[in-house]
Amino acid sequence: MKVLIADALDSVAVERLRAAGHEPIVRTGLQGIPLTEALAGVEALLVRGATKVTAAVLQGAPSLRLVVRVGTGLDTIDVAAASERKVRVVNTPAANAVSVAELVFGLLIAFERHVAAAASELRGGAWEKTRHMGRELAEKRIGLVGFGRIGREVATRAHAFGMVTSWCDPFVLQTPSGFQWARRSSLEEILPQSDYLSLHLPLNDQTRGVIGASELAVMKPGAVIVNCARGGLVEEGALLKALQSGALRSCPTSSRPRIWAPRRSRPRHAPRWKRSRS
């Protein structure tokens, strides 16, 4: 099987595909027409978060039978168009759960301990330890919005740090085994109580803008949002105002800000994720 690898992938994974009898072709950085041209005669496409698999790309790739998202989110793939063309779309939801969870705490520790600022000063020859007194995570409250694989990995690490953990997820109807110490709650309850709010949702029409101006307004003063999921989960104009006013201390994120991009509206009758109680 010819497999086009359109985003950077570890060389070990490429060799495993080759050892399994497939023909991996590595061509990264392609979008639109160049991507369609590269898919000529290709049966499987491997992507991460950068490559956009649009309806036009799918239409121009008649030999394509499988699209694999190396990771979790499918928001860069037109799943409906793929289904119409009988192209199977799959992801690897467990592949990056630990990596994302570790990144959440890497960002939190770097922020609360002023790691970047202190390192920058040190490179300039200064060492003013008292200027960078940090805050402990122990006994702070963390609210997890989304309690799938990644959310649970974050919860496990929060528990190890001695944090008080709450979570909400309308698709998780019972507390998972082994997580009885984490409080099942609702978004409305979590927002005013949490020192840290960590987002772990897919991006779709129901979750886009789940944290908007009204949610930010009821958050605990000086709270921190950590977004290692998708930028579109937060209404960035409202986020910017909350940060500028000081209502929110910070928003460490792994998503590129898109404040200039228009917000896509939800379907009129689509359920609003944030109104669902878990």
Domain boundaries, the chain: 2-91, 97-275
| CATH architecture for residues 97-275 | 3-Layer(aba) Sandwich (3.40)
Beta strand segments in the chain, E: 2-5, 23-26, 44-47, 66-69, 88-91, 141-145, 164-168, 183-184, 196-199, 223-227, 248-250
Of 92-106, 169-183, 222-236, 255-269, give the lowest mean pLDDT range.
255-269
Q: Which CATH class is domain 2-91?
A: alpha beta
**What does the DSSP assignment read for 52-111?**
-B-HHHHHT-TT--EEEESSS--TTB-HHHHHHTT-EEEE-TTTTHHHHHHHHHHHHHHH
Q: What is the pLDDT of residue 257?
A: 60
Does this chain's domain 2-91 share its CATH topology with 97-275? yes
Of 145-149, 222-226, 268-272, give the lowest mean pLDDT range.
268-272
Q: pLDDT exceeding 90 applies to what percent of the chain?
A: 70
- Whether residue 215 is predicted with pLDDT greater than 90 in this model: the reply is yes
- Whether residue 58 is predicted with pLDDT greater than 90 in this model: the reply is yes
Q: What is the pLDDT of residue 260?
A: 41
Tell whether the torsion through CA atoms of 237, 232, 257 and 113 is positive or negative.
positive
For residues 150-160, give the mean pLDDT: 96
Dump pLDDT digits (tens) for 121-140. 888 888 887 788 889 999 99
Dump pLDDT digits (tens) for 222-265. 999 999 988 889 998 999 999 999 999 999 998 766 554 444 44
